[in-house]
Amino acid sequence: MSPLLTPSAVYAQRRAAIGRALQAAGGGVALLPTAPESPRNRDSDFPYRHDSYFYYLTGFSEPGAWLVIEASGKNAQSIKSTLFCQPKDLEREIWDGIRLGPEAAPAELGIEAAFSVDTLAEKMPDLLANQQAVWFPFATHKGLETTVDGWLNKVRARVRLGTECPQSLHDLCKPLDEMRLVKDPHEIAILRRAGSISAGAHVRAMQTSSAMLRSGIEGGLREYHLEAELLHEFRRHGAQFPAYTSIVAAGANACVLHYRAGNTELKAGQLCLIDAGCELDGYASDITRTFPAGGKFTPAQRLLYDIVQAAQEAAIAVTRPGQRFIDPHNAATRVLIEGMLDTGLLAKAKHGSVDDVLESGAYRQFYMHRTGHWMGMDVHDCGDYTEPGSEPQPEKDALGQLVMRKPSRILKPGMVLTIEPGLYVRPAKGVPKKFWDIGIRIEDDALVTPEGCELLTRGVPVKAGEIEALMRG
């Protein structure tokens, strides 16, 4: 796909591609609602966020909309998209904002037809009549199955008049997930910008941390001060939202994997772990940096930091086409285990070699998560983690039990994944005290390229010495 396409042409190409995929699978009609609005408290909603699949195929982010793609014919020309959207309504638009409306939608979005969403229930039986199959996202929209059932009942009631009713229901997420897994140039351009904005936000937070600790602040430097810097930087560059709730974790809080930014005081001599990224034009970024709040690592912090950084480098080195999704995890885990044995986090006399620790799973005391996930419109993006079409094989699961699993997905150019090894040391018997309460994670977003991978988030330094230099500046 050419990066010079207008956005509406990009979405039209995606609708054509999914239409062809449905035709190849026997044809049918696809139904896709966007996300509902969600109340936060009385008269106040959560900020509205479209459904990712819906936006992927329309570029339309108003609530109260549905996309219907008819793909029953044999050729690309017979594929037809219809949008149902909120009708123009002066009274509502005064309160909630301008609506595109069905009259303007075809020209604006490059869609074949558009109607008011108020006519959806009335028109849907006609759209479903004489179709082979219905495709809609399974288990993602509350009550959708029941709604589709109701429409199919209406079609069935006309069977005696010669109408045919769809014979089968299919999960629309399946073909869409495969498409979304490999990013097109339009998506890659946005992901690069999102990564760069988020990297700038991490730089700002690091610099603010050391500057505020140097100059002093009444009441102390708190996690929420740094969260505010992140949000300021996201928004001032046009990012609409954080892609997920920011983690700003002082000292021991970093050992809580899903910690949120709270009000704990950050002190010089402590580490701060920030896991935060913006969402720009519907696309996420996901960065973690761990830095000394005052700008200088202690020897014990530095020892563990360098191990995590080496683990990330080992993972990056095997992030390239032909490798499997699990290979960066395996590479990082080996380096982390070597570090655990060298530093005495795991006693060699008790735990043996790297292979012994891999086998026993003892490393999970300090490293209990995977090294990455797909990333795209959703921070944990869609896409199978196993290779489609492959046969299940025996493999050990996280608890060491033998299970049958398909082999891990083979990486291809255009896939985007995070690389995020870490070490988390909770106080425990046998663990050297100097490491207690240290939590470190380093995370970057990698685009698989034909040659290897491009890190989209390296606008913020990662090497310990470079972080210290930045924080001195």
List residues near Mn ion by CB under 5 A.
275, 286, 418, 443
Contact 372, 419 (CB under 8 A): yes
- The reply to whether 384 belongs to the active site is no
Query: How far is residue 189's CA from residue 15's CA, in Å, rounded to a whole number?
Result: 20
| Active-site residue flag, 373 | yes
- Told to judge if 380 belongs to the known catalytic residues of this protein, a careful annotator would answer yes
| Nearest approach, Cβ of residue 420 and ligand GLY (Å) | 6
Q: Least distance (Å) from ligand GLY to the CB of residue 245?
A: 9
Nearest distance from C-beta of residue 275 to ligand GLY, angstroms: 5
Catalytic residue of the set 223, 443, 444, 445: 443
Q: Of 91-110, which residues contact ligand GLY (CB under 6 A)?
A: none
Active-site residue, selected from the candidate residues 40, 42, 160, 258: 258
Judged by CB under 6 A, the chain residues 244 through 263 that form the site for ligand GLY are 244
In terms of DSSP H, where are the helices of 256-346? 299-317, 326-343
CA angle 458, 459, 463 (to 5 degrees): 60
| Two structure tokens written together for 76 | 């690309």
Catalytic residue among 184, 420, 444, 468: 420
Apex CA 471: angle with CA 466 and CA 473, to 5°?
100
- Residue 443 CB coordination number (10 Å): 23
Asked if 43 is an active-site residue, the reply is: yes
Q: By C-beta, is 23 or 418 nearer to Mn ion?
A: 418
Contact 375, 284 (CB under 8 A): yes
Minimum CB–partner distance for residue 247 and ligand GLY (Å): 7
Q: Please, are residues 85 and 62 in contact by the beta-carbon 8 Å criterion?
A: yes
Q: Given the complex with ligand GLY, which of 58 and 309 has the nearer CB atom?
A: 309
As given in the structure block, the two tokens for residue 92 are 């509502």
For ligand GLY, give the closer residue by CB, 227 or 443.
Answer: 443
244 touches which of Mn ion, ligand GLY, none (CB within 5 to 8 A by kind)?
A: ligand GLY
Cα separation, 145 vs 157, in Å, equals 18
- Give CA separation, 98 vs 52, 87, 109, 443, in Å: 22, 10, 16, 39
Locate 4 and state its tokens.
């010079």
Residue whose CB is less far from ligand GLY, 250 or 379:
379
**Minimum CB distance to ligand GLY smaller for 141 or for 183:** 183
Amino acid at 331: A
Residue 378, interface with ligand GLY (CB under 6 A)? no
Residues 6+ away with beta carbon under 8 Å from 247: 258, 259, 260, 261, 273, 274, 275, 276, 288
CA–CA distance from 352 to each of 81, 332, 411 (Å)?
A: 61, 19, 33
Which of positions 403-422 make contact with ligand GLY (CB under 6 A)?
Answer: 420
Least Å from the CB of residue 369 to Mn ion: 9
58 vs 290, which CB is nearer to ligand GLY?
290
Contacts of 122 (CB under 8 A, 6+ apart): none
273 binds ligand GLY, rule: CB under 6 A: no
**Binding partner selected for residue 138 from ligand GLY, Mn ion, none, CB under the kind-specific 5 to 8 Å limit:** none
Which of these is catalytic: 170, 373, 378, 468?
Answer: 373
Among 173, 191, 212, 379, binds ligand GLY (CB under 6 A): 379
Q: Which of 435, 420, 428 is nearest to 304 (CA)?
A: 435
Of 70, 279, 281, 286, the one binding ligand GLY (CB under 6 A) is: 286
SS3 65: coil
- Sheet of strand 287-292, all strands in order from the earlier edge strand to the far edge: 247-250, 271-276, 287-292
The reply to whether 184 sits near ligand GLY by the rule CB under 6 A is no
Q: Which is nearer to ligand GLY, 51 or 286 (CB)?
A: 286
In the bound state with Mn ion, the residue whose beta carbon lies nearer, of 187 and 275, is 275
Q: How far is the CB of 420 from Mn ion (least distance, A)?
A: 5
Q: Tell me, yes or no, if 441 is annotated catalytic.
A: yes
Residues 184, 187, 286, 444: which is the catalytic one?
A: 286
Q: Which of 195, 125, 175 is closest to 457 using CA atoms? A: 195
Binding ligand GLY by CB under 6 A: which of 233, 275, 381, 444?
275
CA distance 107 to 113: 9
The count of other CB atoms within 10 Å of the CB of residue 50 is: 19
- The tokens for 315 are 């993972």
Q: Which does 279 bind (CB under 5 to 8 A by kind): ligand GLY, Mn ion, none?
A: none
423-452 residues in contact with ligand GLY (CB under 6 A) are 443
Binding characters for ligand GLY, 333-372, by CB under 6 A (x = yes): ----------------------------------------
- Residue 227 touching ligand GLY (CB under 6 A): no
Cα separation, 187 vs 192, in Å, equals 9
Contact indicator for 212, 226 with CB cutoff of 8 Å:
no
Least CB distance to Mn ion at residue 222 (A): 21
Q: Which residues are known to be catalytic?
A: 43, 258, 275, 286, 369, 373, 380, 420, 424, 441, 443
Residues that bind ligand GLY (CB under 6 A): 244, 275, 286, 373, 379, 420, 443
